[in-house]
Structure 1
Amino acid sequence: MPQLNPNPWFFTMLLSWLTLSLIIQPKLLAFTPTNPPLSKTPTTTKTLPWTWPWT
């Protein structure tokens, strides 16, 4: 059964994980968002109870 042979796919999987962990992941972790969530003031909204028509 060819799907049980890891020879052609193991190198591809290993290369993709190394690319992800060594090249892409440090770039994503170094990204700083332009609009950090701490700069916003929390807003409180007043909620009203729902009036059910069948009660």
Structure 2
Amino acid sequence: MPQLNPSPWLMLFLTTWLIFLYFLPSKIMNHAFPNLPSPKPTQNQKTTPFNWPWH
């Protein structure tokens, strides 16, 4: 069963995961988000109920 031989794919697998774990987080964390979150206002807004014309 050749799929049990780790020689052809193990180094490729490890190298790929090292790239994912080392380079990509720094690129993702350096991304600038254009819309920064803003806190919601603490005051309650007054809402009026809608009168349905058929009710």
User: Is TM > 0.5 for Structure 1 vs Structure 2?
Assistant: yes
Q: Gapped runs of 5+ residues in structure 2?
A: 42-55
Aligned residue number for residue 23 of structure 2: 23
Q: Deviations over 1:1-55 (max 9, x none)?
A: 111111111100100011111111211122231112x23758xxxxxxxxxxxxx
- TM-score, normalised to structure 1's length? 0.59
Q: Gapped runs of 5+ residues in structure 1?
A: 43-55
Identical-residue share of aligned pairs (%):
37
- TM-score, normalised to structure 2's length? 0.59
Larger radius of gyration: 2
Aligned residue number for residue 7 of structure 1: 7
Aligned residue number for residue 39 of structure 1: 38
